[in-house]
Amino acid sequence: MNKKLTVVLSLFLALSLIAGCSSGGVNSKAESGNTIKVGLNFGLSGAAATYGQGSVEGIELAFEEINKNGGVLGKQIELAKYDNKSEDTESANVSTKLATRDKVVAILGSDTSGSTKAAIPAAMQNKIPIISPSATSDDVTVDSHGKVKDYVFKTCFNDSFQGIMMAEFAYTDLGYKKAAILADTTSDYAQGLSKAFNETFTGLGGVVISEEAYQAKDTDFKAVLTNIKGKNPEVLFVPGYYEEVGLIIRQARELGINIPILGGDGYESPKLLEIAGKDSLNNVYYSSHYSPMDDSENVVKFKEAFKAKYDKDPDAFNALGYDLAYFLADALERTGEVNPEKLREALASTKNFTGVTGSISIDGSHNPVKSVTIIEVKEGQPTFLKKLDPQ
């Protein structure tokens, strides 16, 4: 983050504790010529709504701070916000609308890998940078031939990185040698994590003794879980989203499967506790982008500002959205003008941006180099366990 934005952030967070973040919204129209329009394409309803809602809360808080302290390049940020309903087709429509009708300088979103990939063609065609805070699939920023998509960026780590880290955690930290995998066959996200976990775990010397599958919107997992139980694994890896994962964890515990259950950042939702239940959520570990137990100064200030605005504690998606807004503002400041092409260049050259989810440097594939946090769930409560850095 450049020095100017760091000062702005620190000043606002101090003032917000007094003012309660109560004044002014970022969506109010400013005088023509004095605004920078930014598009938001997130699932605010539908299957992945808590991810999109969380990201947007963080984004709106950050841009309110920025606007109250002079904006970016002396201009106010104006948001064009749409709900893609957690549907890929609607995400593509929203992206087209933002690029061609709203004429935004950048598109922020979407929240899942599938909806983000659906939004990319319109952004690429219109040469508008698109940045996702949470689309973790490895092929979001590169095509099937490994070619980097010029206008596509993200501020979250890849699925493969999560899968690798969780396999190393299971084998090295927990000390288990026999694993089972239960993954959603309809999800690029789940398949990416599953592949990386399998390859890494077996490469370390472990054995994957069972690979089972389910599909999104399934609700009865008892048959497949019974098959897994019969093979006596020491650890169960279930990459997926909270709606199905919550049911899987609850039904696994009901069947007497009490081994550690591991997953990725798709577990990061308050809905997981509602679905799985407190008694089932023990001996559960997942990778995340952020921990509210982090006591570094910028994280503490963010938590205080978020609590003042929303009257609740922030989660990882709130933090990812917040970082995304400041990440964009930092790049815009470095361009010196409102120009999508120069913005693309500035985004690609970002190094050592300091956010609440960690330090971000963009690599040659437009992915961030950043650490992963391991969360342990005890009696339904997520607790910080450790942070793992990329090698």
Q: What is the pLDDT of residues 136-181, one digit of tens each?
A: 999 999 999 999 999 999 999 999 999 999 999 999 999 999 999 9
Q: What is the pLDDT, as a whole number, of residue 5?
A: 47
Percentage above 90 pLDDT, the chain: 85
- Strands 207-214 and 178-184, bridge-based pairing: parallel
pLDDT at 9 over 90: no
Q: What is the pLDDT, as a whole number, of residue 32?
A: 41
137: left (phi over 0), alpha (psi -120 to 50) or beta: beta
Higher pLDDT, 388 or 126: 126
d(CA 267, CA 245): 7
Instruction: Report whether 58 contacts 322 (CB < 8 A).
Output: yes
Q: Is the dihedral of CA 130, 134, 135, 137 positive or negative?
A: positive
pLDDT at 6 over 80: no
Instruction: Report whether 78 contacts 30 (CB < 8 A).
Output: yes
d(CA 341, CA 345): 7
Q: What is the pLDDT, as a whole number, of residue 391?
A: 66
- Entry field: residues in the chain: 391
pTM of the model: 0.80
pLDDT at 188 over 70: yes
Quote the Cα angle for 286-215-154, to 5°. 50
Taking the CB of residue 101, how many other CB atoms lie within 10 A of it?
Answer: 9
DSSP string, 129-194: -EEESS---TTSSB-TTS-B-TTEEESS--HHHHHHHHHHIIIIIS---EEEEEEETT-HHHHHHH
State the Rg of the chain over Cα: 21
Please, which residues have CB within 8 angstroms of residue 129's CB and are 6 or more apart in sequence?
Answer: 105, 106, 107, 123, 151, 152, 153, 340, 343, 344, 347
Higher pLDDT, 321 or 136: 321
Q: How confident is the model at residue 295 (pLDDT cuts 50, 70, 90)?
A: confident
DSSP string, 100-128: HTS--SEEEE-SSHHHHHHHHHHHHHTT-
d(CA 199, CA 237): 13
Structural domains of the chain sorted by starting position, each given as residue range(s) with its CATH number in brackets: 3-157+293-370 (3.40.50.2300), 159-288 (3.40.50.2300)
Percentage above 70 pLDDT, the chain: 92
pLDDT at 3 over 70: no
pLDDT at 4 over 50: no
Longest dimension (CA), the chain: 67
d(CA 84, CA 44): 7
Instruction: Report whether 126 contacts 100 (CB < 8 A).
Output: yes
pLDDT in tens, 87-145: 999 999 999 999 999 999 999 999 999 999 999 999 999 999 999 999 999 999 999 99
Task: Report the chain's mean pLDDT, rounded to a whole number.
Answer: 91
Distance of CA 98 to the CA centre of its chain: 21
Give the residue carrying structure tokens 């919204």. Answer: 25
d(CA 279, CA 298): 34
